Structure 1
Amino acid sequence: MKFFIDTANLAQIKEAHEMGVLDGVTTNPSLMAKEGISGHERVIEHYKTICGITDGDVSAEVIATTFDEMVAEGEALAKLHERIVVKVPMIKEGVKAIKYFTSRGIKTNCTLVFSAGQALLAAKAGATYVSPFIGRLDDVSTDGLGLIEDIRTIYDNYGYATQILAASARHPMHIVECAKIGADVVTAPLSAIAALLKHPLTDNGLAQFLADYKKAASQAAIG
């Protein structure tokens, strides 16, 4: 399973890359604003900078909601860098835009997916990625991981090449469960990815190893 980091924070993207676990980046206008990135030119330059850090795909979201405007905006984004994936909302005009982009070799990420039916439409239109928002579904007492399972079954039944990008992952168990179910990609904050490192037995074991080493070294010095 591929790990994408869901942020516009350059320091966090660099940290994930240096850890050796970064396969790509997803971001959106809200995450850009959180980092103080506003204005078209600054946003464009920020996307370019992100593409220079990661070796994987970078999802760049369109703001438009009409077909013609999404096409114009998406084509401009795709020209920024070969790693750019045009992120399109799951609406009727968005599905039409995905079909258009796919026919022209532009990679797409269908976002704001909350049902298996929506994921099926995105795959039929040729989306490169489909992003079911598991955390947001959990927030309204709906089984987000169950949706991933349903989409996996449908895609496997018919051989769709669209990759399942589990989005809105909130914690390390979301990531582990997505891997068990068969999501192709998970996108999560760095904190959730880094939390996979932690286990109390690892911490206790390392502390014991270091204590034993220090004791042995002290005895050797005395001897």
Structure 2
Amino acid sequence: MSGSLAPDTATNALEALRARTTVVADSGDFETIRAYRPTDATTNPSLVLQAAGDTRYRHLVDEALAATPSGGLSRVERLMTLFGRELTQVVPRYVSTEVDARLSFDTDATIRKARALIADYGELGVAPDRILIKIASTWAGIRAASVLEAEGIACNMTLIFSLAQAQACFEAGVTLISPFVGRITDWYKKAEGVDHYAPEDDPGVASVRRINAYAKTHGYPTQVMAASFRNREQILALAGADLMTISPALLEELAGLPQADTPGITDTDSDVPRLMLDRGAFDWAMNADAMATEKLAEGIRRFADDQRALEQQMAG
């Protein structure tokens, strides 16, 4: 729980949300982040690709192009750590930085890349305790995170679409997971031919509530950060989650709303017994969940495409 205002003294819906949930900015734009005062921020190829085309950040692109990164990092990865360095001056807690999505099925390569990113941050004067290494929640990625966490490198496991993924991350001892609310909803809208779900019927909202309840019932310290929101109703329905990463457009919308009267997350009891998944059980659970399988693969492809686009932009 985060925030200095009690919900009944909040001036708008965003302040009321901050009183219950740590707010993270889903943006690479420093000015936007300053305006909404989130606790954490993130960099990934998608966000950096958007920001790198802004003339305000040209000096970071130039700095990355002039650099000779060590540890096998590319100039694109140096650009992400440069953005991350700047973000640590804007937010008080974590900045997440993503491992190249093309390594999502290679445990050893993910570990090496994560170590190199942390080392690069060190060269830029950023302490490792300010950084979360962001890794796709494949079996290989979760195994890499288990090793990294044991070394003191905190991880943010992204592209979570199922309880099986979340459970494997909890057992790996990761710092934070990011279940993707809106992408789950998108899949079910298409599959069921539905235009809109009320919050209580929204499959994305239900998935995060289920994951959150499981974590709390079984005493896992891993934090749950809801991500990928499509509308403010989804956000308000999940008020009380550990964290939420929210786009600038939705932050602005919440800031312009009066305090919302919504229960958010009220039930933190899970009827799912503690699961112990080995590789076979994990693979079968994912195979049985068409939505999770499809959205995980699609998410990895999207991040990889943006990484390639950023590489081409830097090369040109």
Both proteins in one fold, TM over 0.5: yes
Residue of structure 2 aligned with 1:57, choices 94, 105, 114: 94
Equivalent pair of 2:43/2:83 in contact (CA under 8 Å): no
Give me the whole-angstrom Cα distance separating, in 2, the residues matched to 1:141 and 1:104. Answer: 39
Alignment-derived partner of residue 73 in structure 1: 113
Q: C-alpha offsets along residues 97-148 of structure 1, whole Å, 9 cap, x if unaligned?
A: 1100111111111100101111011111011111110011111126100011
Counterparts in 2 of 1:73-112, with a 5 A limit? 73-79=113-119, 80=121, 81=126, 82-112=129-159
**Displacement, 1:199?**
3.7
The reply to whether residue 170 of structure 1 matches residue 170 of structure 2 is no
Alignment-derived partner of residue 30 in structure 2: 10
Q: TM-score, normalised by structure 1?
A: 0.82
Give me the whole-angstrom Cα distance separating, in 1, the residues matched to 2:225 and 2:251. Answer: 15
- Structure 1 stretches of at least 4 aligned residues deviating more than 4 Å after TM superposition: none
SS in 1 for 2:238: helix
Which amino acid in structure 1 is aligned with residue 87 of structure 2?
A: I
Q: TM-score, normalised by structure 2?
A: 0.58
Q: How many residues align?
A: 195
SS in 2 for 1:140: helix
Report the CA distance shift for 1:40/1:117 in structure 2 as closer, same or farther (over 3 A): closer
**Displacement, 1:30?**
1.1
Alignment-derived partner of residue 241 in structure 2: 183
CA RMSD of aligned residues (A): 1.8
Alignment-derived partner of residue 39 in structure 1: 76
Equivalent pair of 2:42/2:84 in contact (CA under 8 Å): no
Q: C-alpha offsets along residues 29-49 of structure 1, whole Å, 9 cap, x if unaligned?
A: 111111126723322211111
Q: Percent identity?
A: 29
The reply to whether residue 145 of structure 1 matches residue 205 of structure 2 is yes
Which structure ranks higher in relative contact order (CA pairs < 8 Å, sequence separation ≥ 6)?
A: 2
**Displacement, 1:200?**
7.8
**Displacement, 1:197?**
2.3
Give me the whole-angstrom Cα distance separating, in 2, the residues matched to 1:77 and 1:41. Answer: 8
Alignment-derived partner of residue 252 in structure 2: 194
Give me the whole-angstrom Cα distance separating, in 2, the residues matched to 1:88 and 1:70. Answer: 8
Return 109-118 or 28-37, whichever deviates more.
28-37
Give me the whole-angstrom Cα distance separating, in 1, the residues matched to 2:257 and 2:23. Answer: 20
Counterparts in 2 of 1:151-162, with a 5 A limit? 151-162=211-222
Give me the whole-angstrom Cα distance separating, in 2, the residues matched to 1:120 and 1:24. Answer: 24
Stretches of structure 2 lacking an aligned partner (at least 5 in a row) = 1-20, 53-60, 62-74, 190-202, 260-316
Residue of structure 2 aligned with 1:29, choices 45, 53, 70: 45
Equivalent pair of 1:170/1:188 in contact (CA under 8 Å): no
Give me the whole-angstrom Cα distance separating, in 1, the residues matched to 2:143 and 2:79. Answer: 29
Q: C-alpha offsets along residues 202-221 of structure 1, whole Å, 9 cap, x if unaligned?
A: xxxxxxxxxxxxxxxxxxxx
Report the CA distance shift for 1:140/1:120 in structure 2 as closer, same or farther (over 3 A): same
**Displacement, 1:75?**
1.5
**Displacement, 1:174?**
2.0
Give me the whole-angstrom Cα distance separating, in 2, the residues matched to 1:185 and 1:122. Answer: 17
Give me the whole-angstrom Cα distance separating, in 2, the residues matched to 1:156 and 1:187. Answer: 20
**Displacement, 1:171?**
2.6
Equivalent pair of 1:62/1:87 in contact (CA under 8 Å): yes
Which amino acid in structure 2 is aligned with residue 56 of structure 1?
A: R
